[in-house]
Structures are given as C-alpha cells and as structure tokens.
A and B are shown apart, each in its own frame.
Chain A
Amino acid sequence: MGLISSGTLRKGPLKPVGELLNYSRKYSLWMFQWGLACCAIEMGVALAGPRYDVMRLGVIPFPASPRQADLIVISGTVTDKMAPAIKRLYEQMPDPKYVISMGSCANCGGPYWDSYSVTKGVDQIIPVDVYVPGCPPRPEAFIQGIVMLQERIQKEDPADRWQGKGWEPIVVAG
C-alpha cells in the first residue's frame, strides 16, 4: 500500500508533505484544451490573451498529448459523433485528472436541447468537476472555474480521488 492510497499523507507527521503535494499539483495543471465550438474562442482569450492570461495561475495550456495533461476543458458543443473521441482521449489522461465543462452546450446541450445530433451534456460520457455556465462564459467565469478547481485540489485527499470519492461537481455561479 503506497503513501497516497493508504491516506498517510493526510494525517500524522507526513501531513505537510501531502499538503505540499497538493499545492504543487494545484499550480502545475497541464491543461488539454478541447475546442469544439465557439466557446473555444473565449477559452483562447482566457488562455492566450495578455489581459486574462491563465498561466499566471499555474495552468499550462497546450500540452502535446492528453497523456501529459491533468485537466481537460470541454469547450463547445459535443456531438454524438465526437463523443467517442472525447471518451477515448479522456481515458488516455493519467490519474488524477480533472474535467471542466465550459459553456451551455457542454453542460447540457444548451440551445441544441432538442437536436438529433448533439449530446445533451458531456457529463453523460465523462465525469465533470466544474461546470462553467454561459453562452459563451466570460473569460472571468472560466478563470473562476479554474480557481475553484484549484481550491478543490488543495483540499482533497488524492486517495479519495483515486477511490472515486469526492466527485460532487462545482458550479460556477453566474
């Protein structure tokens, strides 16, 4: 039984080590960006624009592969045809991994609530940590989602995460 899965890092003399581990993970989130539709532009503003610049929060965008990523942002409309590809890429990410669903389409289907081709929410195929509402969300809302996710990472016990506990989703309030 390893240090993490035994829970040793959450209590006792090694607790500061666990906190340091979480602190490090929190500020080095490699983010795999999954631009599916117009929300991707808003996400690009939050990532690459000098005004918002999510890298100052320790989020590193554009890893070369999902196998290097800790965080995936689903930004845009998920279609039934694209859903298997999203699932496959999510499964390639190493644990522990986090998902932000950005925009109304990824949250619930949004304006395509009655469409024949749109998946009504990416949470039907992968578990979502943070929902960012909006059509599209403002970059501020997206960055708020990142900050709330970082708070969760700081507080969480990696052992719980790996045992599938602590999946209660965070919703960024409008």
Chain B
Amino acid sequence: MMMLKDTYSAEIEATLAKYPPENKRAAVMPLLHLAQRENGYVTKSALYEIADLCGVAVTEVASIMGFYTLYHDQPGGKYRLQVCTDLPCALRGANEFLEQLCANVGVKVGETTADGMITIEAVTCLAGCNKAPMFQVQTGEGLEYYENQTVESAVALINDLVKR
C-alpha cells in the first residue's frame, strides 16, 4: 500500500518540525491536507498513517476530518467548484449565478458530472464578497479563487478544466 511517508517524507518532517515535539498532534491538520492532496479525499489508510505519525488514536484523526468542511471522506469530482452563496455574494446575484451554472452543466447543487470531473457545491463565505459572483476550485493540488464571474466565464473555465 502506498504510504504518505514514501512520497512526502521531507514535507512530513518539515510539518512535524513546526510544532513542539510533545505536541505532535498539532500536525494532524496539515497532514490531512497533505493526504487530501494525494487522493482528492482522505482515505482510511491515510487516517491510520496520520494517527501513527502524530501519536494519536485514529478516531481522533477521523474526528478532526469530520469537523472541518474542507476535508472530504469520500471521493468527489476531480474538481470541486465551490460557489459562495452567503449573504454578501447573494446580494450580488450568487444564487442566480449558481442556479444557471448548474443548469448549464447539467447537475444539481452538490452533484458531480457524469464524467466524474466536476462537482458543484454551494459554500459559506470565502472572503471574496466584493467580487461576487465568485467561487473556488478545490483540486488535488490545492485551491484557486475565481472572482467577478459570469456564467459564461465559469462554463469556459469548466471546459478548460475538463481538458486539462
């Protein structure tokens, strides 16, 4: 089985070094981010490995994964397109934007396209309120913000992502 240790040993070392040695547990969140980068979601074996690396029980690691919404315990689309529909964005048309985008892509909010590439989700405020409609794209590699969007620009981006 592929272990995070095999691929990312330097990064794991560096992460652990950020915290006092008796508080290795502090590395759980960064390591969950790392594990998610590897697979797009946190696998069960990654949970065990992180528990081991940080000297905590696996349930404690899972509990942290469950609390924070950016961690996923299930695989989703390759790209998670997360549209902010919180109040400030909604005042600038985020709800209508999301609705039309979904209609264009042919999925409902929270669903993944048939090819498994794109999941469209509604999320809470992303600190981009002045540039609504806006969304972030969560991928294996990380996160990117797309602001001042129109349905056209978003569809174009999706077409682009699918081709990548």
Q: Does chain A bind chain B? A: no
A residues contacting B by CB (< 8 A) are none
B residues contacting A by CB (< 8 A) are none
